[in-house]
Amino acid sequence: MTLIRLIAAALLALTTAARAEVPEVRIARQFSMGYLQLNMMEHEKLIQKHAALLGIPEVKVTGYKFNGPTAMNDALLSDSLDIVTGSPMGLYFIWARTRGTPQEVRGISAMVSMTLGVVARDPTIKTVADLDKCGKIAVAAVKVSAPAVLIQAAAAQAFGPKEYARFDTLTIQMTPPDAMISLLSGAGEIGCSYGVQPYLAQMLEKPGIHKVLDAQEVWGKGSTFTVAYTSSRFHDRNPKLYQAVYNAIAEATAMINQDLGKASRYWIEDGESKLTEDFVKSVAGGPDVSWTMTPVKTLAVAKFMHDVGTLKVLPASWKDYFFPEAYGLDGS
């Protein structure tokens, strides 16, 4: 091989290596309005912006959508995802599963305090005591999702801690859109359904549909609805990129609070939704909604799950399952 060819081959190898080393952030979310920061971050290229400010000139950001925490958590552990966003319940399970290992998973920050509910068609289903009349209850994931744990907590409050799983056998996994369609049609076995925003608001607009359980009544007003979390592997190996993600979430949160209209338009565009901007904005800016990175009442939920035996490790503080970058927040 001539010297020129050797140089060309070396340059090609260096170029290929440089391209291969372009960092990528793979982010997963679920079906709901609890992830407006991700819409804002994508449209405004905030991760790329903050990475560049920290000396990382090029970042590829890829988004994925899942229903329920189980598949997302498995993808995170298999290194198929870098960041997962979902309910605190999904974080607790994977944190307890990985605690003390090189793959330990912890939270980056909260994203929003927002309610979710369980709704019914039958007017005689008024409280948790009536849920056995539902037939089947749609949830995001059986036993481990936010609505499933909400039902467990309500059952424990009504019938005692030993009865927390009283309605588990009635639950069936569905995406929020499918659950809403099934409940509203009245044709199937779904007599009750969970509702996350904006699907909860849509269902409650329909005559005869009413709320049976409200998460903020069970857990307390202002309780966190969604969080972002990642593995120690990603956090420790990519400190500047992690900081860029954290800073991007912070800026996106501030932008949402400053301009709900823009955030609503981004959500509609990304989800190809037929909802109006006014409707989405009214839900995103509702009285029970707070776009904040601060974890609220998360420890109380984790302690309930440990008390009934579904969470095997009892955290002493919310800081046990969040990374130190969030410790300056006034969390709970």
**Domains and their CATH numbers in the chain:** 3-114+223-326 (3.40.190.10), 117-218 (3.40.190.10)
Please report the pLDDT score of residue 319 as a whole number: 98
Q: Give yes or no for a contact between 196 and 32, defined as CB atoms under 8 angstroms apart.
A: yes
Q: What Å distances lie between residue 173 and 40, 67, 120, 206, 230, CA to CA?
A: 29, 9, 16, 23, 25
Strands in 190-195's sheet, in edge-to-edge order, are 171-173, 136-139, 190-195, 117-120, 210-214
pLDDT at 21 over 70: no
Q: Give yes or no for a contact between 234 and 147, defined as CB atoms under 8 angstroms apart.
A: no
Please report the pLDDT score of residue 67 as a whole number: 79
Cross-strand bridge partners of residue 107 = 229, 322
Please report the pLDDT score of residue 132 as a whole number: 95
Q: Point out the least confidently predicted range of 61-70, 221-230, 294-303.
A: 61-70
Residue 160 backbone zone (phi > 0: left; psi -120 to 50: alpha; other: beta)? left
Nearest alpha carbon to residue 299 among 285, 279, 319: 319
Please report the pLDDT score of residue 303 as a whole number: 96
Please report the pLDDT score of residue 218 as a whole number: 94
Q: In terms of C-beta density within 10 A (0-12 exposed, 13-18 middle, 19 or more buried), how is residue 171 classed?
A: buried
CA dist 291 and 30 (Å) reads 17
Nearest alpha carbon to residue 116 among 82, 88, 81: 88
pLDDT category, 5, cuts 50, 70, 90?
A: very low
What values do phi and psi take at 175, rounded to 5? -70, 155
CA dist 237 and 103 (Å) reads 12
Q: Point out the least confidently predicted range of 15-19, 165-169, 321-325.
A: 15-19
Please report the pLDDT score of residue 166 as a whole number: 97
Q: Give yes or no for a contact between 144 and 90, defined as CB atoms under 8 angstroms apart.
A: yes
In percent, the amount of the chain with pLDDT more than 90 equals 88
pLDDT at 1 over 50: no
pTM of the predicted model as reported, rounded to 2 decimal places: 0.90
pLDDT category, 188, cuts 50, 70, 90?
A: confident
Please report the pLDDT score of residue 187 as a whole number: 79
Q: What is the pLDDT of residues 124-180, one digit of tens each?
A: 999 999 999 999 999 999 998 999 999 999 999 999 999 999 999 999 999 999 999
Across residues 224-248, what is the average pLDDT? 97
Handedness of CA 202, 203, 207, 210 (dihedral sign): negative
Please report the pLDDT score of residue 68 as a whole number: 76
CA dist 151 and 142 (Å) reads 11
Q: Point out the least confidently predicted range of 4-8, 34-38, 42-46, 263-267.
A: 4-8
What integer best gives the mean pLDDT of the chain?
A: 92
CA dist 266 and 244 (Å) reads 21
The token pair at 18 is 């440089």
Q: What is the pLDDT of residues 207-226, one digit of tens each?
A: 999 999 999 999 999 999 99
Peptide bond into 198 cis (omega under 30): yes
Q: What is the pLDDT of residues 25-58, one digit of tens each?
A: 999 998 889 999 999 999 999 999 999 999 999 9
CA dist 127 and 129 (Å) reads 5
Across residues 5-23, what is the average pLDDT? 45
Question: Comparing 2 with 254, which gets the higher pLDDT?
Answer: 254
Across residues 50-67, what is the average pLDDT? 94
